[in-house]
Structure formats: C-alpha cells, structure tokens
C-alpha cells in the first residue's frame, strides 16, 4: 500500500479509510470525520490547559477560514477574487478594490451565513484586518479591537470580543456543517465542494 494511505487525517481516519468511505458514499462516516478533524485541530486544544483569549481567537480564525473553504469548495484561500464574482453584501465598501483575497471574503461569507455571528456582519472587513490578520501576523489585535474572556461580557460589545463565547458559537457552526452534510444527497453542492477540498488536502499529504 502506498504510504500516503497511512497518513492520518484525524485521530481515527487515515487517507485509506477516507477513500474507502468516499467510494462507499458513507455520508454519516464522512460528516463525522470532518467534525472530528476540525474539532481536534482548532477547538479541543484551546479548551485544555490554561486558556488564553488570543490563542482561542487565533485558532478560531483558522477554523473559520478552513470551514468556509469547505463550504465554498475552495482549494485554498490565497486566490484573489474579482469584485464581480463576490456575492453581495460581501463586496468591499471601497469601490476601487477590484480584487480581494478569498481569505478576506471567507470571513464575510461566514458571518453572513452563520446566525450565531450576525452581530459581526457589519464589521467583517474590520474583523479580518484587525483581528484575523492582527493576531496571526502581529500577535495582537489592532484598530481598537479587544479580546476578553469575562463571563459578564457579551459575544460582541463594541469592538470587544468574548473569545469563550466566540468559540462556543463556532463549535455550533462546525456541528451545523456536520448536520448539513449528513442531511444532504451525495451529489449535492455541499458534498461536491467537500470532496473537492478533501482531494487537495490529501494531495498535500503526498
């Protein structure tokens, strides 16, 4: 057997097992697999040990981008999208921005679709620039955005994000994606996009 077949995509699923489930059109098994893979990578690690709001938000931003890539069937989030190809209301406010990274658009799409993040919809561009890029590139938020874990604070209060509540809402979004796959036909758009993304994931293992 090719050694790539032994590569673990999650704690319980190897590339070989994934391909077997794919051939069998095992929607239940595959939907559980993607939940396991993403939860193990981005949610469970920040819930164990001493918690830190910035670590929680860093992992959360990575998960949002990854999850949206699965929803959209994007092979990566590096491509520049033409303005006319970006769905409203996610076209950037600045009319001169004719090409936008799919990474940035991913956050707007995610906030627009996920009801638990409705409060973030007007701030999608600012969140991407000052929270996602600030934390991942500079190790801090910028533009006046703040992170808290105080139980007294709501999910979003002005520019203050409750990291714990953010992660809780994100965990639900991941569970909703598993349910979407589990309830969709094998030939539906969610499954076509899922398989397209997974083909690239496995190619990157080689």
The answer to the question of residue 64 being in a domain is: yes
Burial pattern 110-136, b for ≥16 Cβ within 10 A else e, equals bbbebebbeebbebbbebbebbbbbbe
Q: What is the pLDDT of residues 120-167, one digit of tens each?
A: 999 999 999 999 999 999 999 999 999 999 999 999 999 999 999 999
**What are residue 13's phi and psi, to 5 degrees?**
-130, 120
Residue 154 counted as domain residue: no
Do 109 and 117 meet the contact criterion of CB atoms below 8 Å apart? no
Q: How many CB atoms lie within 10 A of CB 27?
A: 18
The tally of domains found in the chain comes to 1
Q: For residue 48, what pLDDT is reported?
A: 87
pTM confidence score: 0.95
Residue 142 lies in a domain: no
Which pLDDT does position 1 carry in this prediction? 44
Question: Residue 69 is encoded by which pair of tokens?
Answer: 């890539």
Range of the domain at 197: 3-129+164-203
pLDDT at 2: 61
**Structure confidence at residue 98 (pLDDT):** 94
Kindly state whether residue 135 falls inside one of the protein's structural domains.
no
Q: In this structure, is residue 140 part of a structural domain?
A: no
Under-70 pLDDT residues of the chain: 1-2
């Amino acid at each position: 057997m090719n050694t790539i077949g032994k590569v673990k995509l999650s704690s319980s699923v190897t590339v070989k097992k994934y391909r077997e489930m794919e051939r069998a059109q095992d929607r239940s098994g595959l939907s559980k697999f993607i939940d396991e893979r993403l939860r193990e990578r981005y949610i469970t690690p920040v819930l164990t040990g001493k918690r830190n709001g910035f670590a929680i938000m860093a992992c959360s931003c990575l998960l949002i981008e990854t999850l949206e890539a699965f929803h959209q069937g994007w092979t990566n989030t590096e491509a520049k999208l033409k303005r006319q190809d970006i769905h409203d209301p996610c076209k950037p406010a600045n009319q001169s921005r004719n090409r936008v990274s799919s990474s940035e658009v991913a956050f707007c799409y995610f906030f627009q679709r996920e009801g638990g993040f409705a409060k973030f919809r007007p701030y999608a561009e600012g969140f991407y620039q000052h929270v996602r890029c600030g934390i991942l590139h500079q190790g801090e938020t910028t533009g006046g955005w703040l992170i808290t874990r105080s139980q007294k604070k709501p999910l979003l209060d002005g520019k203050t994000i409750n990291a714990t509540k953010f992660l809780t809402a994100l965990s639900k979004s991941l569970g909703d994606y598993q349910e979407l796959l589990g309830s969709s036909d094998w030939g539906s758009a969610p499954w076509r996009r899922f398989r397209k993304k997974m083909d690239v994931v496995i190619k990157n293992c080689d």
